[in-house]
């Protein structure tokens, strides 16, 4: 997704962010870090490891963007109203101020400025922010007189990104175009990075909409359709199979067309569209037409896996007609599946 040839990395600063509740300190670097070619190559690898999906966010604040600290720092840096080093120090201070929960780990904050960065269809100046919390052991050798000694140290693994954000100087008035990841925490714990520090919300993009509809479809099948009586595995697979067929064949999502094709019952289709509206908590307008994202379809591929796992002995892969597989219980109380087929390959 990144085009290195059309991008230019200009500045790098590293600061140490402690946990306030544990009386750990904030240590700000007094100067920028050097940028030799090997270091820049590793940083590029670090960047590419972090942002693999085009899921964009934007800065937000209930009282207005002027109260979002990270947005304001980036805005002043892009406008050249503030030099890079003091801007990076301000970002470190903002992160330190919200690092007061006992579960928040200390770590290095890397702040990087690109005078130009190309990602997918976006090309603009950008600020990248990485927080490294988990150190990895590394080995290195050193020749001493007639011996070669082996040493170890703890460092940042550029292939494993903990927390990161990438802010493009685009759509400033709407909160910039922002990519963000937290590969350490999930659920409530991830709010520290997304909500307390960055204060961002998801943008309503084709990638996000496609991903969310697939997710909501699976939830509806499991929760609503299986509410009165649990669905057979093959029934759930059949619904998800028709969902996959729709997304694979169509270029645009149509709520009515999709619901009727997947569920093949007008009453169930109406219930599904109401279910979607009730789950659209981020105001993504999921009950409207939108262009289907191929990237999101690939990302959600596991949702469509048609595999029945039986104990530790068998896996049954179901690719088509559910009527050709039959489930039952024999006289001894053992469960079985009966398969009907025409050819054996």
- Give this prediction's pTM: 0.72
CA distance 132 to 91: 15
CA distance 205 to 198: 19
Tens of pLDDT, residue by residue over 128-169, are 999 998 877 777 788 877 888 888 777 777 778 899 999 999
Q: Is 150 helix (H, G, I), strand (E, B) or coil?
A: strand
**Lowest-pLDDT choice from 200-204, 258-262, 340-344:** 340-344
Average pLDDT, the chain: 87
pLDDT at 124: 95
pLDDT at 71: 97
CA distance 18 to 123: 34
Q: Looking at the domain assignment, is residue 345 inside a domain?
A: no
User: Based on the domain organization, do 171 and 283 belong to the same domain?
Assistant: no
Higher pLDDT among residues 30 and 207, named by residue: 30
User: Based on the domain organization, do 196 and 217 belong to the same domain?
Assistant: no
User: Based on the domain organization, do 29 and 83 belong to the same domain?
Assistant: yes
Q: Looking at the domain assignment, is residue 120 inside a domain?
A: yes
Higher pLDDT among residues 186 and 220, named by residue: 220
What token pair was written down for 297?
């379809």
In sequence order, what are the residues at sequence separation of 6 or more whose Cβ sits closer than 8 angstroms to the Cβ of residue 197? 70, 94, 95, 98
pLDDT at 166: 96
pLDDT at 140: 74
Q: Looking at the domain assignment, is residue 154 inside a domain?
A: no
User: Based on the domain organization, do 188 and 284 belong to the same domain?
Assistant: no
pLDDT at 141: 83
For residue 230, pLDDT over 70 is answered with: no
pLDDT at 82: 93
User: Based on the domain organization, do 125 and 38 belong to the same domain?
Assistant: yes
Q: Looking at the domain assignment, is residue 147 inside a domain?
A: no
CA distance 178 to 86: 21
pLDDT at 144: 78
Q: Looking at the domain assignment, is residue 333 inside a domain?
A: yes
What token pair was written down for 100?
């007061």
User: Based on the domain organization, do 28 and 167 belong to the same domain?
Assistant: yes
For residue 342, pLDDT over 90 is answered with: no
Sequential DSSP letters for 30-49: SSPPP--HHHHHHHHHHHHH
User: Based on the domain organization, do 29 and 11 belong to the same domain?
Assistant: yes
Do 83 and 14 meet the contact criterion of CB atoms below 8 Å apart?
no
Higher pLDDT among residues 205 and 250, named by residue: 250
**Lowest-pLDDT choice from 13-17, 82-86, 263-267, 330-334:** 330-334
- Nearest one of 16, 14, 52, 55 to 31, comparing CA atoms: 14
Tens of pLDDT, residue by residue over 251-297, are 999 999 999 999 998 999 999 999 999 988 878 889 999 999 988 88
Tens of pLDDT, residue by residue over 167-183, are 999 999 999 999 999 98
**Lowest-pLDDT choice from 36-45, 155-164, 306-315:** 306-315
pLDDT at 66: 94
User: Based on the domain organization, do 175 and 244 belong to the same domain?
Assistant: no
CA distance 280 to 255: 13
- Choose the final residue of a domain: 202, 227, 253: 202
User: Based on the domain organization, do 311 and 327 belong to the same domain?
Assistant: yes
Q: Looking at the domain assignment, is residue 56 inside a domain?
A: yes
Q: Looking at the domain assignment, is residue 143 inside a domain?
A: no
CA distance 104 to 96: 10
What token pair was written down for 17?
């962010």
Work out how many domains the chain is built from and give that number: 2
Structural domain boundaries enclosing 99: 4-134+160-202
Given the structure tokens 């714990």, which residue do they identify? Answer: 189
Give strand pairing partners of 14.
110
pLDDT at 257: 95
User: Based on the domain organization, do 17 and 53 belong to the same domain?
Assistant: yes
User: Based on the domain organization, do 211 and 196 belong to the same domain?
Assistant: no
pLDDT at 92: 97
Do 3 and 118 meet the contact criterion of CB atoms below 8 Å apart?
yes
Instruction: Burial-class residue 64 by CB neighbours within 10 Å (0-12, 13-18, 19+).
Output: exposed
pLDDT at 226: 66
Q: Looking at the domain assignment, is residue 38 inside a domain?
A: yes
User: Based on the domain organization, do 100 and 247 belong to the same domain?
Assistant: no
For residue 187, pLDDT over 70 is answered with: no
Give strand pairing partners of 123.
118
């Amino acid at each position: 997704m990144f085009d290195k040839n059309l991008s230019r990395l200009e500045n790098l600063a590293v600061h140490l962010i402690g946990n306030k509740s544990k009386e750990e300190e904030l240590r700000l670097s007094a100067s920028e870090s050097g940028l030799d070619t090997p270091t820049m190559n590793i940083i590029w690898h670090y960047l590419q490891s972090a942002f693999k999906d085009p899921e964009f966010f934007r800065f937000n604040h209930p009282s207005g963007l002027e109260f979002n600290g990270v947005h304001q720092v980036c805005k002043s840096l892009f406008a050249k109203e503030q030099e890079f080093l003091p801007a990076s120090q301000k970002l470190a201070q903002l992160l330190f101020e919200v690092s007061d929960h006992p579960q928040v780990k200390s770590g290095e904050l890397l702040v990087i400025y690109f005078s130009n960065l190309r990602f997918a269809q976006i090309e603009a100046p950008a600020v990248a922010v990485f927080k490294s919390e988990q150190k990895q052991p590394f080995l290195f050798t050193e020749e001493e007189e007639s011996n070669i000694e082996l040493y170890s140290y703890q460092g940042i693994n550029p292939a494993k990104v903990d927390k990161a954000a990438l802010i493009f100087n685009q759509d400033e008035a709407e909160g910039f175009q922002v990519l963000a990841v937290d590969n350490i925490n999930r659920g409530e714990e991830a709010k520290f990075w997304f909500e307390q520090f960055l204060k961002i919300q998801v943008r309503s993009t084709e990638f996000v909409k496609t991903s969310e509809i697939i997710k909501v479809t699976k939830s509806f099948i499991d929760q609503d359709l299986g509410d009165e009586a649990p669905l057979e595995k093959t029934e759930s697979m059949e619904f998800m199979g028709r969902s996959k067929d729709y997304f694979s064949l169509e270029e645009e999502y149509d709520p009515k067309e999709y619901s009727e094709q997947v569920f093949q019952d007008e009453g169930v289709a109406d219930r599904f569209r109401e279910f979607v509206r009730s789950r659209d908590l981020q105001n993504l307008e999921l009950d409207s037409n939108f262009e289907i994202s191929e990237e999101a379809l690939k990302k959600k591929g596991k949702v469509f896996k048609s595999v029945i796992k039986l104990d530790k002995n068998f896996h049954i892969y179901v690719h088509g007609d559910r009527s050709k597989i039959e489930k039952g219980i024999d006289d001894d109380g053992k469960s079985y599946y009966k398969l009907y087929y025409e050819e054996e390959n």
